[in-house]
Amino acid sequence: MQVDLVIPVYNEEHILAKSVATLRAFLAEHLPHSWRIVIADNASTDGTLAVAQRLAQGDEGVTFIHIPQKGRGRALKAAWLQSPADIVSYMDVDLSTDLRHYPELVAAIAEEGYDLATGNRLARKAQTRRSLHREALSRGYNFLIKGLLNVRFADAQCGFKALSRLACQELVPLVEDGEWFFDTELLVLAEKRGYRIKDVPVHWVEDPDSRVNIRRTVAQDLRGLWRLRRQLQEAARNRHPPGSKA
């Protein structure tokens, strides 16, 4: 079974090589499948693309793609949809999620029959280290999702996910958002269309060098939630699956 692990990056030349080396060593020792690391550079303006090219030279375990427009969702959509792998996945370049959970994420698809697996930082067995401000925002956001969209999954935006190839090919083209809301929209569409989702409790440590613009991201997420709510209501009225263009 072939597994692609995508790392979406924007201006990460300072950490990319170290993170890829850490991932290569871990996967070689702990993942019982064929694997490939795919660096998805989306419009970096520093030397990230050059680092990605250097890491991929002569190494069959590492490759890269370049997306000329910013947005984590755009990077994931491009990398996943062109992947020939049986399982596609991604994690953030800062490796905030403990890598020991990655084999469990993959096993949920490869062995347990789930269509999608996602990290859960809010489960009882999860352990997180982050600021009180970020913790409150995360819990408030996920509470809002449940209230507005009536979904069961617990943590919409953990940067730690895996999908079967079939689920990827069916779901990812339906996701409209190309930025941070991509994760939420993917999970909502998957649950509403009946795909099996596994929550994987994780150990997660906040990256103090995070480039996320919290205010801008919150505004985008709120717009995305209202758009999805309208689309789900319309789908219910017209009796067609959410995300359909009908």
Catalytic positions = 183
How are strands ordered across the β-sheet holding 34-42?
A: 62-67, 34-42, 2-9, 87-91, 160-164, 116-120, 197-201
Neighbours of 170 (CB within 10 A): 17
Closest CA to 221 of 193, 171, 172, 183: 183
Task: Note whether 92 and 68 are within 8 A (CB).
Answer: no
Q: What is the DSSP letter of 213?
A: -
Nearest-10 Cα torsion for 191, 90, 14, 133: 30
Three-state SS for 146-164 is HHHHCCCCCCCCCCEEEEE
Question: Which three-class secondary structure state does DSSP give residue 99?
Answer: helix
